[in-house]
Structure 1
Amino acid sequence: MMPRPGNLLVLATALAVLAGCSEDQPAQKAVRPIKWVEAQVQPLGETVVQTGEVKPRFETALSFRIDGQMTMRVENGTPVKAGDLLASIDKTPSRNNLRTAQAELETAKAGLELAEATARRNRDLFANNIVSRAQLQEAEANLQSARSRLDQATTALSNAEETLSYTDIKAPRDGIISAVGANEGQVVQAGQMVVTLISSQERDAVFDVPEKLLAAKTQAPPVDVRLISDPGVKASGTVREITPSADPITRTFRVKVALGEGGARMPFGAAVIGSMVLAPKMLVKLPASALTNADGKTAVFVFDRAKSRLAYRPVTLERFDEQTLLVSDGLAAGDIVATAGVSKLRDGEEVSLEGEAK
C-alpha cells in the first residue's frame, strides 16, 4: 500500500525535528540535593544509667549486753520513736545484784566512819604519849583501807545500776522495726540480735557501679532516681558515700545516693533506675546516618558552599549509639554536614542543599 501524500508530509516534518535535536548538546545531569545539618559545638555530657535498690540509711541490729530470759519485745513492722522500749529481759538477777551493791556501800560507809573515829582517837592518845606510834600507824592504815572499800563499793553500785539498764533495749532513733531475732520466753545471749531498727525517713538508693564510671567523673553530679515499677515516682539525690575498695567478686564499687524529696514514696527494697550526666565536653551532635569512612578512617561529608561540592572530613568520635554521633574533633561550628544517603555520595561531587532557596 502506498502512503498518502499528506502522511508523507507529516513523516518528513518529524524526521526533520529529530535531526535537529540530534545536533543539540546532550542534557546536563541534574544536581543531587542532600539532606544536611549545620554543626553546632555545645557542652554535652554522657548520661549514665544504673539499676539499684532503695535501702534505709540507718539499719541497726540491736541486742542485749547481758544474758537473760526475754520477757517483752515489740512486733516486726512497729514504728517507734527515739527512747521507746523495744525489748526487755528478766530483771530479777540484776536487781538482786543492785541490792547487794547498795548493802555493801552502806557497810563501807559504816566502816569508814568507825575507822575515822579510831584514827582521831589514836592521834589524840599519841599526842599525850598514851599509845605507841605503831598503834597510830595501824589506825591510819585501817582508815585508808576503809576509804578504799568505800570507793570500791561506790563503783560496784554504779556498775550494778548500769547492768540493770542493760535489761532493756531502747530505740536510739526514730524508725521502724524491720526484723526480729528472738521471742518472749527465749533465753538470749549477750550480743544476739533481738530486733533490727531501720530509719523510717532517710532513704538511700544503692548502686554497684564499674570502676570506669568512677574514674570518668571529676565530681559527684546530681542523680535522678525513678522506680522501675512506677516511673512517675521519682526523686533527686546526691552521692553520699562511695566504698573505697571494689567488691572482690563483681569488681564494682558500691555507691549510696541520699534521696531527697520524693524518696519517702519509694518503699524499701524497691528496684530503681538512677541516671546522671557526667562532666560535659564541647562536642558536635550529628545523626548516625552521617557517618562514612575515607581510607579506613571515620569521616563525614562536608559541603563547600563556594564550590557547591562535597568533601571527605575525617572526624574523631567521642561516643555514639544507634541514632547519634558525638564528634570531639574534626568539625567546626557552622560546617554543613550531609546526613543521609552518604553511601551513594562521592568526594568532590556537586550537590545542592535540600530545602535551601537557589
Structure 2
Amino acid sequence: MLKVNGNWIRLIGIVGCTMWMTSCKQTPDVQVKPSYSVMKVALADKELSTSYSATIRGRQDIDIYPQVSGTIEKLCVSEGEKVRRGQVLFIIDQVPYKAALQTAIANMEAAKAGLGTAELTYDSSKELYAQKVVSEFSLKTAENTFLTAKAQLVQAEAQVVNARNNLSYTEVKSPTDGVVGALPYRAGALVGPTLQQPLTTVSDNSDMYVYFSMTENQLLALTRQHGTMDDALANMPEVDLQLNDNSLYGKKGKIESISGVIDRQTGTVVARAVFPNESRLLHSGASGSVIMPSTYKDCIVIPQGATVQMQDKTLVYKVVDGKATSTLITVAGINDGREYVVLTGLKAGDEIVSEGAGLVREGTQVK
C-alpha cells in the first residue's frame, strides 16, 4: 500500500506540474505599447548664432617694391612701426640717378640752343626765299631742321622728367597710413623692380577686414529672410569675432559686402565684415571665427529630434486624434545644431512628437 500510494503521490505531482505548464503556455502575452514625448508648439522669439571660419586682413595690405635698381643706403623705419602716407621707408643709392638727371638737364639746354639756332636759320631762309635769294629746297631744309630741333627739345625735356622721377624713386615712400611689416632687406642689399619678395608690406589696420565663406543655402536663407540681398546687408545685425585663442574681440563688426558669384569648386560665397582696430589687437594675416546672430520674431521652434529627414524633405509627426500624422515642414537654413526654426507646415497649438520621431510610423497610436 505504501508503495502503491507512493506511486500515486508521484503521479499526481507530475500531472499537476504538467497542467500548470500547459496553462502558462495558453496565457496570451501582454504587449506594452511604447509612449512618445509630445509637445504643443507655440510662437516665440529665437536668436541663432552661426560661426564661420575667417581670415583677418588690413583694410589695405600694400606690398612695397622699388621702382629703380640700386643698393639700399638707409632703412628709415623698423618692423611694426606706424607710418604716415608719404613717409620715407628706404633710401636707394642716389649717386647714379643724380648724375643721370644732370646729364638730362644738360642735354635739354643743348636742345634749347639747337632749337634757337634752327629757328634763326629758318626765319632767315624765309626772308631770303621771299627775296628769291635761296631756293624752295633750302627753305624746306631749314624748316625741317627747325622742326627736328623742336622735337629734340621735347625729347630732352621728357628725359629730364624721367631722370627726375627716377631720382625721386630712390626714396621709397609709404603709399598709405599703416604699420610696417617684415623688413627682409637691409642696408647694402641690391634691390630692383624684379624682386621676388617685396621690401616690406604696409598694412592699414585702423579698420580690419574679416573675410569668411557662406554656403549657397545659407546665402539663400539670408536673402529669403530679408527679401533682397541689399536689404539683407542693410538689416544684418552686428557680428562678433572670436579670436584664435577662443576669446571674443571687444568690438562688434558690420558685414559690408557679400560676393555676387558662387565659387564653382567650393559652392560658397565670400563675405566681408569690418571691425574697428584702435587698440591694434588685430593683425593682418591672423585667423578667427565670425559669429553671426539671426533673430526670428514670433516663430515656431522645435527640437531637431522631432524631425525626420527624407532626402531633401523634412517632416514631423503631428498628433491628430491620438494618431501620428506625417506633415512636411520647411525650416530656416540656419540652426544651432539643437533646434529648428519652422517657416511653414506648423501653426501655434499643433501637437507633435517631440522625441524619437524616427521611430514613429504613419498612424501609430501615440500615448
Same fold by TM (over 0.5)?
yes
**How has the CA–CA distance of structure 1 residues 266 and 44 changed in structure 2, closer, same or farther, with 3 Å as cutoff?**
same
**1:214 correspondence with 2:222:** no
In the other structure, the counterpart of 2:288 is 272
Q: CA deviation at 1:182?
A: 1.5
**1:85 correspondence with 2:74:** no
Length, aligned pairs only: 306
SS of the residue 1:347 aligns to: coil
CA distance in 1, matches of 2:264, 2:72: 38
| Bigger mean CA offset, 325-334 vs 98-107 | 325-334
Residue 169 of structure 1 aligns to which amino acid in structure 2? Answer: V
| Bigger mean CA offset, 98-107 vs 130-139 | 130-139
In the other structure, the counterpart of 1:117 is 120
In the other structure, the counterpart of 1:240 is 257
| Bigger mean CA offset, 127-136 vs 57-66 | 127-136
Contact between 1:85 and 1:168, CA under 8 Å: does it hold in 2? yes
1:179-233: CA deviations, max 9, x gaps?
2232110111214211111112120112244444334432343433233532262
In the other structure, the counterpart of 1:57 is 59
Matches within 5 A, 1:1-358: 38-41=40-43, 47-73=49-75, 74-192=77-195, 193-218=198-223, 219=229, 220=233, 221-222=236-237, 223-229=239-245, 230-231=247-248, 233-242=250-259, 244=261, 246=263, 252-260=268-276, 265-277=281-293, 283-287=299-303, 299-300=316-317, 302=319, 310-318=322-330, 323-336=338-351, 347=365
CA distance in 2, matches of 1:106, 1:262: 53
CA distance in 1, matches of 2:53, 2:346: 35
Q: Can you give the 5+ residue segments of structure 2 that lack an aligned partner in the other structure?
A: 1-35, 224-228
Contact between 2:329 and 2:345, CA under 8 Å: does it hold in 1? no
Contact between 1:288 and 1:323, CA under 8 Å: does it hold in 2? yes
Contact between 2:300 and 2:342, CA under 8 Å: does it hold in 1? yes
CA distance in 1, matches of 2:135, 2:286: 85
Contact between 1:227 and 1:272, CA under 8 Å: does it hold in 2? yes
**How has the CA–CA distance of structure 1 residues 262 and 300 changed in structure 2, closer, same or farther, with 3 Å as cutoff?**
farther
SS of the residue 2:144 aligns to: helix
Residue 81 of structure 1 aligns to which amino acid in structure 2? Answer: R
Contact between 2:258 and 2:269, CA under 8 Å: does it hold in 1? no
SS of the residue 1:257 aligns to: strand
SS of the residue 2:180 aligns to: strand
Residue 301 of structure 2 aligns to which amino acid in structure 1? Answer: K
CA distance in 2, matches of 1:348, 1:57: 59
Larger radius of gyration: 1
Contact between 1:247 and 1:253, CA under 8 Å: does it hold in 2? no
Q: CA deviation at 1:323?
A: 4.4
Q: CA deviation at 1:107?
A: 0.7
- Percent identity over paired residues: 25
**How has the CA–CA distance of structure 1 residues 92 and 232 changed in structure 2, closer, same or farther, with 3 Å as cutoff?**
closer
Contact between 2:71 and 2:188, CA under 8 Å: does it hold in 1? yes
Q: CA deviation at 1:128?
A: 2.8
**How has the CA–CA distance of structure 1 residues 94 and 321 changed in structure 2, closer, same or farther, with 3 Å as cutoff?**
closer
Residue 51 of structure 1 aligns to which amino acid in structure 2? Answer: S
1:71-129: CA deviations, max 9, x gaps?
12222111100010011211111111111110111111111111122222222233333
| Bigger mean CA offset, 260-269 vs 46-55 | 260-269
**How has the CA–CA distance of structure 1 residues 124 and 53 changed in structure 2, closer, same or farther, with 3 Å as cutoff?**
closer
Residue 347 of structure 2 aligns to which amino acid in structure 1? Answer: A
Residue 42 of structure 2 aligns to which amino acid in structure 1? Answer: Q
Q: Runs in 1 of length 4+ with deviation above 6 angstroms?
A: 340-344
Residue 77 of structure 1 aligns to which amino acid in structure 2? Answer: G
SS of the residue 2:253 aligns to: strand
Q: CA deviation at 1:269?
A: 4.2
**How has the CA–CA distance of structure 1 residues 240 and 178 changed in structure 2, closer, same or farther, with 3 Å as cutoff?**
farther
CA distance in 1, matches of 2:121, 2:103: 27
SS of the residue 2:205 aligns to: coil
CA distance in 2, matches of 1:265, 1:324: 35
**So what's the TM-score if we normalise by structure 2?**
0.69
Contact between 1:310 and 1:347, CA under 8 Å: does it hold in 2? yes
Q: CA deviation at 1:64?
A: 0.9
